[in-house]
């Protein structure tokens, strides 16, 4: 009897164990499958962004090639003299071969009357007027301008850069078209086992009279020449109409348990912003992510079935044994807590997640909340990689936690929130700690310094995160403030408006442009202006905005280096067209140096426009020269060795490192304008300016005075031995000189 009772109780315990095991395991495998799916989604998004960037880069480079050829003197002479027979043996068109990344560049030249004069792929169509059949050229000839687009022709879909050709007297001679293909992008992606299919929209089928690729599926032309066999199989299996409806593709496999792919889509837009093609991207599932999800789902279903069986068999035992029910309840609570731990805790930083912050709203509804953001964290990721970025987040969170000893929530990538009873003290403690020490990444032997922007809001209503974010954006625009309180923020649309202008100016150049304005720098000995500073302006629908309106927004949005590249390109192009030998200075920021690509870009543009580096002065803020990173100083020294001249801008604003100035062999010092504009009325300004001039003279460094607005200021500037004067008294910034 005792044995029977023992066996019965043992059976009950076994059934309860099975039930618990099945329930907790099912939850675990389900969470794991969701995590893997999320990773795959993030990877697909990253690839999609990379492909869009590659397309934009090739479009821009095709346009740059057209601009370079349009400036070629041999081409201009042939067009002016109408010696078109020289096109096929003249060295002018060998310039295209310099662009090795573009194996198949096609060139098309049309004279001022609209007649074909050069076709790199045939001679049969020469001598024909193309304007009647080329609507785009008709519009261009009415008002000559440069065009960069993607279009579908008789043969294929291509990148096309069209640029007017002018002689030295600015007489219109015709246009040059440079045409390139998507194949180089496909070949680049294929190296990482990412395969593509460029599908031209069906409405262009009749237009493709002589397609380079005669492969059609469902009536769509597949432009990709080296189409992967697995991709072709999948296109035929799924059908093009079904694929182009979605942003991502479902997984497929070539055969059971062999190579599989998952994918995404990029819409290709034409000149009218209508979709003209679809770039289908297939990513090889090298890590077997799909099969992991499939396996985990299968296990979850199997465990679910076992759960049903165990529940059915153990129902009577559970009903009769209350003690075991209580025990099971406690264990289920433990597993639930574990699952909540996955939801509420950030494994990387050991902080709470945003979900926990939202769940805790009753705890801080009458408290002060502080949001902390790491400045230039995106630059850390871009410069050192995501693994170093993760280490920065981990170490930063640990240090902040040790300072505050209270709950910290990680809201976004580099944004943290904590509850504070003493806002000013907590913020000052954090700033002081990170000001006195750097972050050391031991396994990579990297030392980094970080600083923060802070925003504060009172209470915990449902809109608290939005308020903190708005105040944080204001804090980034006012870095001199220790923090920004939400109630002090005047919420307006300036950030949104100028951020949109900048994006338009940098990436689409439709409606907004970054343009250089040139201000003369007078030589006080020769009384001539042979030096100029290139000043950035934002031009929007006829309105001109100085950097005061947009430069801080550009910094917060990560646009500074893009603006610098535009200024370099346009300034060099302007310099190349000047008849007299002049020198132009360009402003360089710390962000440009941190990008690690400044030197490479400068050298490429020197070669492109045939300019000598000695005619370019790089103006850097005093803080960069005295307190810049080791990497930035090395770059400046390398640029100096290549022939560029260096100038320290706004000298006298910060504590200068005179040894660093000597180390860099600086050519010019520009005295900050606040000392010059009142030098005739303020004795202190006079003494400072005079001291700087004497120091520079002893170091054999030329001095430039900014804000020379009238003759009274100029007289004193000349008296104390300043070499150059810059200001409205001599030159107003203008598009021309």
Take residue 566 and report the two structure tokens written for it: 């535009």
How many C-beta neighbours within 10 Å does residue 437 have? 11
**C-alpha–C-alpha distance, residues 208 and 200, integer Å:** 10
Candidates 285, 475, 251, 288; CA nearest to 372 is 475
- The proportion of the chain whose per-residue pLDDT surpasses 70, expressed as a percent, equals 80
How many C-beta neighbours within 10 Å does residue 263 have? 26
Identify the pLDDT of residue 556.
78
pLDDT (mean) for 578-597: 90
**C-alpha–C-alpha distance, residues 159 and 57, integer Å:** 11
pLDDT (mean) for 388-392: 89
Instruction: Specify the residue for token string 């002090």.
Output: 488
pLDDT digits 0-9 by tens, 349-387: 889 988 888 888 888 888 888 999 998 888 788 788 888
Please, which residues bridge with residue 532 across strands?
520, 584
Evaluate if residue 515 carries a pLDDT over 90: yes
Burial of 213 (0-12, 13-18, 19+ CB in 10 A): middle
Evaluate if residue 256 carries a pLDDT over 50: no
Q: Which region, left, alpha or beta, applies to residue 459 given φ > 0 means left and ψ of -120 to 50 means alpha?
A: left
**C-alpha–C-alpha distance, residues 488 and 478, integer Å:** 13
pLDDT digits 0-9 by tens, 679-698: 999 999 899 999 999 989 98
Half-sphere exposure of 309 (CA within 13 A, CB side): 9
pLDDT (mean) for 216-231: 87
**C-alpha–C-alpha distance, residues 142 and 344, integer Å:** 63
pLDDT digits 0-9 by tens, 53-65: 888 888 888 888 8
Evaluate if residue 590 carries a pLDDT over 90: no
Strand order in the sheet with 368-374: 352-353, 408-412, 415-420, 368-374, 452-458, 484-485
pLDDT digits 0-9 by tens, 260-302: 777 888 999 988 888 989 999 988 776 665 555 556 556 666 6
**C-alpha–C-alpha distance, residues 705 and 687, integer Å:** 14
Candidate from 123-127, 206-210, 338-342 with smallest mean pLDDT = 338-342
**Helix, strand, coil percent values for the chain (each to nearest 5):** 50, 25, 25
Evaluate if residue 600 carries a pLDDT over 50: yes
DSSP class of residue 258? S
Candidates 348, 480, 342, 323; CA nearest to 414 is 348
Candidates 126, 114, 120; CA nearest to 95 is 120
First to last CA, the chain: 111
pLDDT digits 0-9 by tens, 706-737: 999 999 999 999 999 999 999 999 999 999 98
pLDDT digits 0-9 by tens, 529-558: 999 999 999 999 888 999 888 888 888 778
Do 55 and 148 touch, CB atoms closer than 8 A? Answer: no
3-class state of residue 128 by DSSP: coil
Please, which residues bridge with residue 196 across strands?
281
- The proportion of the chain whose per-residue pLDDT surpasses 90, expressed as a percent, equals 26
pLDDT digits 0-9 by tens, 99-156: 544 557 888 999 999 999 988 878 887 889 989 888 888 888 888 889 888 988 888 8
* Arithmetic mean of pLDDT over the chain: 82
For the chain, the residue count is 737
Identify the pLDDT of residue 1.
47
Identify the pLDDT of residue 49.
85
Confidence band for 93, pLDDT divided at 50, 70 and 90: low
Please, which residues bridge with residue 446 across strands?
441
**C-alpha–C-alpha distance, residues 3 and 10, integer Å:** 10
Q: Where are the alpha helices (DSSP H) in 440-546?
A: 464-477, 494-503
Identify the pLDDT of residue 340.
66
Take residue 256 and report the two structure tokens written for it: 């059971």
> 284: Cβ–Cβ under 8 A, 6 or more apart, which residues?
193, 194, 195, 259, 260, 261
Candidates 603, 583, 604, 601; CA nearest to 592 is 601
> 644: Cβ–Cβ under 8 A, 6 or more apart, which residues?
602, 613, 614, 616, 617, 618
pLDDT (mean) for 475-499: 73
Q: Which H/E stretch holds residue 515?
A: strand 512-523
Q: Which H/E stretch holds residue 358?
A: helix 354-359
Higher confidence at residue 493 or residue 702? 702
Evaluate if residue 625 carries a pLDDT over 60: no
Take residue 474 and report the two structure tokens written for it: 């204001």
**C-alpha–C-alpha distance, residues 378 and 414, integer Å:** 9
**C-alpha–C-alpha distance, residues 400 and 429, integer Å:** 9
**C-alpha–C-alpha distance, residues 583 and 427, integer Å:** 47
Confidence band for 446, pLDDT divided at 50, 70 and 90: confident
């Amino acid at each position: 009897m005792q044995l029977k009772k023992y066996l019965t109780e043992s059976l009950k315990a076994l059934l309860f164990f099975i039930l618990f095991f099945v329930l907790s395991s099912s939850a675990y495998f389900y969470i794991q499958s969701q995590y893997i799916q999320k990773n795959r989604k993030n990877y697909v998004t990253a690839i999609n962004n990379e492909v869009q960037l590659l397309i934009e880069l090739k479009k821009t480079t095709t346009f740059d090639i057209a601009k370079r050829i349009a400036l070629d003197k041999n081409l201009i002479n042939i067009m002016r003299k109408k010696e078109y027979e020289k096109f096929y043996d003249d060295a002018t068109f060998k310039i295209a071969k310099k662009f090795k990344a573009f194996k198949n560049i096609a060139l098309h030249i049309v004279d001022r009357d609209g007649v074909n004069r050069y076709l790199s792929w045939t001679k049969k169509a020469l001598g024909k007027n193309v304007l009647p059949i080329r609507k785009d050229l008709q519009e261009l000839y009415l008002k000559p301008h440069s065009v960069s687009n993607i279009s579908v022709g008789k043969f294929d879909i291509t990148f096309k850069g069209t640029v007017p050709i002018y002689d030295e007297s600015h007489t219109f001679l015709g246009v040059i078209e440079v045409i390139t293909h998507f194949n180089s992008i496909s070949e680049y992606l294929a190296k990482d086992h990412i395969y593509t299919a460029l599908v031209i929209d069906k409405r262009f089928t009749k237009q493709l009279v002589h397609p380079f690729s005669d492969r059609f599926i469902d009536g769509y032309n597949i432009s990709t020449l080296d189409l992967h066999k697995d991709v072709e199989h999948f296109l035929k299996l799924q059908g093009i109409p079904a694929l182009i409806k979605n942003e991502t593709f479902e997984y497929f496999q070539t055969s059971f348990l062999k190579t599989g792919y998952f994918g995404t889509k990029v819409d290709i837009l034409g000149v009218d912003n209508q979709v003209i093609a679809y770039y289908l991207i297939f990513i090889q599932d090298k890590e077997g992510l799909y099969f992991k999800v499939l396996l985990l789902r299968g296990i979850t279903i199997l465990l679910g079935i076992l759960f049903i069986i165990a529940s059915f068999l153990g129902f009577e035992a559970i009903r009769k044994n209350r003690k075991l029910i209580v025990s099971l309840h406690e264990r289920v609570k433990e597993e639930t807590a574990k699952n909540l731990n996955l939801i509420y805790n950030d494994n990387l930083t050991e902080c709470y997640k945003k979900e926990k912050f939202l769940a805790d709203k009753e705890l801080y509804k009458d408290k002060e909340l502080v949001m902390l953001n790491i400045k230039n964290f995106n630059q850390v990721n871009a410069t050192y990689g995501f693994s170093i970025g993760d280490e920065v987040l981990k170490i930063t969170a640990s240090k902040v936690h040790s300072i505050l000893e209270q709950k910290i929530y990680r809201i976004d990538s580099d944004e943290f929130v904590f509850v504070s009873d003493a806002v000013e003290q907590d913020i000052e403690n954090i700033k002081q700690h990170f000001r006195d020490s750097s972050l050391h990444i031991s396994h990579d032997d990297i030392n980094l310094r970080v600083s923060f922007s802070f925003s504060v809001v009172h209470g915990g209503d449902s809109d608290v995160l939005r308020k903190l974010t708005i105040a944080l954006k204001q804090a980034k625009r006012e870095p001199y403030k220790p923090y920004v309180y939400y109630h002090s923020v005047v919420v307006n649309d300036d950030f949104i408006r100028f951020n949109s202008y900048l994006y338009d100016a940098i990436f689409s150049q439709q409606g907004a442009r970054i343009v250089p304005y040139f201000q003369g720098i007078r030589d006080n000995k020769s009384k001539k202006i042979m030096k100029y500073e290139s000043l950035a302006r934002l031009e929007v629908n006829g309105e001109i905005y100085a950097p005061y309106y947009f430069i801080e927004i550009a910094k917060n949005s990560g646009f500074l280096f893009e603006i610098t590249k535009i200024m370099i390109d346009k300034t060099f192009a302007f310099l190349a067209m000047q008849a007299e030998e002049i020198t132009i200075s360009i402003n360089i920021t710390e962000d440009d140096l941190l990008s690690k690509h400044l030197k490479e870009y400068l050298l490429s543009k020197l070669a492109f426009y045939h300019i000598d580096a000695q005619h370019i002065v790089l103006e850097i803020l005093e803080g960069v020269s005295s307190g810049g990173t080791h990497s930035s100083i090395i770059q400046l020294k390398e640029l100096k060795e290549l022939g560029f001249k260096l100038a320290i801008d706004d000298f006298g604003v910060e504590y200068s490192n005179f040894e660093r100035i000597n180390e860099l062999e600086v050519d010019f010092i520009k005295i900050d304008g606040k000392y010059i504009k009142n030098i005739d009325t303020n004795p202190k300004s006079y003494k400072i300016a005079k001291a700087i001039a004497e120091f520079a003279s002893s170091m054999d460094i030329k001095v430039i005075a900014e804000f020379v607005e009238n003759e009274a200021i100029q007289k004193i500037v000349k008296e104390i031995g300043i070499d150059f004067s810059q200001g409205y008294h001599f030159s107003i910034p203008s598009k021309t000189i």
